């Protein structure tokens, strides 16, 4: 397939899926019904949820400073914070483009080489995935039969075989890169080496325990944010903890399906909650209200970050 066509599909398919899921969602619940739930929601809990989200993102920005230190860099917390929010905002345009944008911002304003910066972000994602798997483990203990069936359905023998083939192809590619010494392979080798160095920085940092503490705090805030927002919605005041975790897990995976979870987030919540016989309308309303409130915060702070980054760093440069 032509590279330009692949790029177009990579951008267009998540958008089309998001549009389809939005249409599907509102075919199940009218805007009037959603507006009624929004009007009757306890705003106090929504703002507490927003605060939890803000604290988690601040902790993520601070956590990255520990990863930059072994690489010989001491970036400003303000730049790291604005890079995090800018990345979240950019993810609304192209899925996962935010990580590239974040590494680019850190390269431009903190002189962290792109490959090493991107490597640290990859390492962060690995740590985050480990936390998500821990949450899945807790949910499996509470609701083993559902979680086991869910993953068996999603990861069949065929999908595992495809995954193995992809891994073997990647290993063959690495062997090819290591064997040949052309300018092209040398550039790729140096780039991959930079990413690996950044990813391995987690094992070289002095503050491993603080990094771990921030990682736990980030995910505790994510789950707390999810929980306290349910308290705002009439009909979800007494949600079982197992249902909360299952809804959270499905919603977390849904964010990668479309641009920052548009359309997919509310429907993932509905799937998770209705498995525990929770009513569909408040579940869908919760998904939309939580997604919309967090989106507004990201648009406001992310937009301000993109505007303030050059201003902040220009002043910093003038003060030197």
How confident is the prediction for the chain on average, in pLDDT? 82
Residue 314, pLDDT score: 85
- Per residue in 182-206, is it b (16+ CB within 10 Å) or e — as a string? eeeeeeeeebbebbebbbebbeebe
Mean pLDDT of 65-70: 85
Confidence of residue 80 (pLDDT cuts 50, 70, 90): very high
> How many angstroms separate the CA atoms of 50 and 318, rounded?
35
Q: SS3 of 286, please? A: helix
d(CA 97, CA 209): 29
pLDDT in tens, 143-200: 666 655 655 565 555 555 555 666 666 566 556 555 656 565 555 555 555 555 555 5
Mean pLDDT (whole number) for 51-62: 96
Q: What is the Cα–Cα distance from 65 to 244, expressed in whole angstroms?
A: 32
pLDDT of residue 148: 58
Note the pLDDT tens digit of each residue in 116-128.
888 888 888 888 8
């Amino acid at each position: 397939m032509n590279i330009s066509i692949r790029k177009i599909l990579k951008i267009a398919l998540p958008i089309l899926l998001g549009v389809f899921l939005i249409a599907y969602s509102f075919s199940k619940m009218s805007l009037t019904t959603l507006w009624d739930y929004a009007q009757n929601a306890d705003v106090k809990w929504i703002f507490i949820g927003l605060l939890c989200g803000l604290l988690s993102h601040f902790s993520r920005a601070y956590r990255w400073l520990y990863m930059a230190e072994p690489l010989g860099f001491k970036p400003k917390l303000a730049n790291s914070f604005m890079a995090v929010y800018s990345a979240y905002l950019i993810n609304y345009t192209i899925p996962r483009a935010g990580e590239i944008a974040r590494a680019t911002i850190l390269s431009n304003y903190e002189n962290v080489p792109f490959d090493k910066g991107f490597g640290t972000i990859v390492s962060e994602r690995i740590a985050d995935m480990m936390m998500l798997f821990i949450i899945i483990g807790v949910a499996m203990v509470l609701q083993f039969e559902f979680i086991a069936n869910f993953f068996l359905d999603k990861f069949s023998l065929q999908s595992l075989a495809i995954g193995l083939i992809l891994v073997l192809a990647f290993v063959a590619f690495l062997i090819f890169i290591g064997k040949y010494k052309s300018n092209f392979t040398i550039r790729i080798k140096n780039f991959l080496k930079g990413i690996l160095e950044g990813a391995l920085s987690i094992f070289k940092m002095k503050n491993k325990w603080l990094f771990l503490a921030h990682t736990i705090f980030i995910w505790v805030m994510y789950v707390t944010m999810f929980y306290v927002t349910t308290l705002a919605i009439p009909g979800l005041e007494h949600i079982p903890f197992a249902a909360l975790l299952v809804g959270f897990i499905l919603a977390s995976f849904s964010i990668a399906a479309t641009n920052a979870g548009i359309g997919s987030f509310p429907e993932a919540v509905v799937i998770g909650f209705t498995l525990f016989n929770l009513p569909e309308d408040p579940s869908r309303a919760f998904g939309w209200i939580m997604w919309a409130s967090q989106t507004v915060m990201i648009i406001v702070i992310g937009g301000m970050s993109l505007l303030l980054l050059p201003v902040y760093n220009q002043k910093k440069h003038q003060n030197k």
